[in-house]
Amino acid sequence: MKNRILKSLSSGIELVCPFPCLACGVEPGDGKNLFCGKCLSKLSVISPPRCPGCGGTLDGVLEYCTKCLEFEKRPWNGAFALFNLRGAGQDLVYAFKFYGRPEMARPFASLAHELLKNEDLHFDVIIPVPLHWSRCFTRGYNQASLFCAELSRLMEVKCVSALRRVKRTRRQALLDREQRRKNPAGAFALKNGIDLCGKTILLVDDVMTTGATLTAAAGTFENAGIKALYTLVIGRR
Ligand SMILES: [Zn+2]
Ligand SMILES: [Zn+2]
């Protein structure tokens, strides 16, 4: 009862003064905890056809984008990214990652939900790429997990923290390209007792740069008998 009263109270408040956009804090957001149209238009949102390697727009007639062609074949069936990491999009992701804005998980998840709704895919489980505990501790939250939890709610697909970090890797942003490629190898393991046999997995991280972190995480499913693997990131560099 108390809950119902609170709920109708909060939707009443929303009607009177819509929640401000989480990006600019000025314009009313398009729904509770979302971005306004102005801010959305500033993001370089990626539209299809998508590169199955990184989720970026395909820029030629080849199966993969020019960036992905430099790498070995990606160990997944397809990839999705919400937007390219530059300008306003980069600022938002940095706010979410480093500057204590966990509430950003909601608008990002809403965008991801919209994107995935248009794909003819069924996912059995959403799995976040884990952060090393000490990093999670200093930051107070794991942004990939928060994003996954929101997405799980919207998509009605369960989210499972199936992976654990087995070694602490150096922050990717501090490394050069070659170091980045090697840095995360062997960084993850599948937790005991997780059965992914026959499942289609959506593996989620906040950002993809070279794809080395996602590749390392994907490696843990090698002998798990999964049906298919897709990756999703908020921002793609
Ligand atoms: Zn805005
Ligand atoms: Zn690509």
- Predicted confidence (pLDDT) per residue in 71-130, tens digit: 888 999 999 999 999 888 999 988 888 877 888 899 999 999 999 999 989 999 999 998
Amino acid at 137: F
Q: Are residues 150 and 217 in the same domain?
A: yes
Q: Are residues 5 and 95 in the same domain?
A: no
Q: Are residues 98 and 192 in the same domain?
A: yes
Q: Are residues 23 and 57 in the same domain?
A: no
Q: Are residues 126 and 208 in the same domain?
A: yes
Q: How far is the CA of 65 from the centre of ligand 2 (A)?
A: 4
Q: How far is the CA of 36 from the centre of ligand 1 (A)?
A: 4
Q: How far is the CA of 230 from the centre of ligand 2 (A)?
A: 13
pLDDT at residue 14 is higher than 50: no
Pick the more confident residue, 52 or 182: 52
What CATH number does the domain containing 77 carry? 3.40.50
Q: How far is the CA of 96 from the centre of ligand 1 (A)?
A: 15
Ligand showing the shortest atom-to-Cα distance for residue 91? 1
Q: How confident is the model at residue 3 (pLDDT cuts 50, 70, 90)?
A: low
Q: How far is the CA of 179 from the centre of ligand 2 (A)?
A: 20
Cβ count within 10 A of residue 234: 27
Q: What is the pLDDT of residue 64?
A: 93
Q: Are residues 38 and 50 in the same domain?
A: no
State residue 200 phi and psi, 5-degree precision.
-100, 120
Q: What is the pLDDT of residue 13?
A: 43
Q: Are residues 29 and 105 in the same domain?
A: no
Domains: count for the chain:
2
Q: How far is the CA of 72 from the centre of ligand 2 (A)?
A: 11
Mean pLDDT of the chain: 85
Q: Which range marks the domain in which residue 1 is found?
A: 1-42
Q: How far is the CA of 235 from the centre of ligand 2 (A)?
A: 13
Residues 200-207, mean pLDDT to the nearest whole number: 95
Q: Are residues 67 and 137 in the same domain?
A: yes
Q: Are residues 70 and 135 in the same domain?
A: yes
Q: Are residues 30 and 72 in the same domain?
A: no
Residue from 40, 145, 161, 166 nearest 97 by CA: 145
The pTM assigned to this predicted structure is 0.85
What span, in angstroms and rounded, lies between the C-alpha atoms of 138 and 223? 33
Q: Are residues 5 and 109 in the same domain?
A: no
Q: How confident is the model at residue 178 (pLDDT cuts 50, 70, 90)?
A: low
Amino acid at 32: K
Q: How confident is the model at residue 230 (pLDDT cuts 50, 70, 90)?
A: very high
Q: Are residues 6 and 114 in the same domain?
A: no
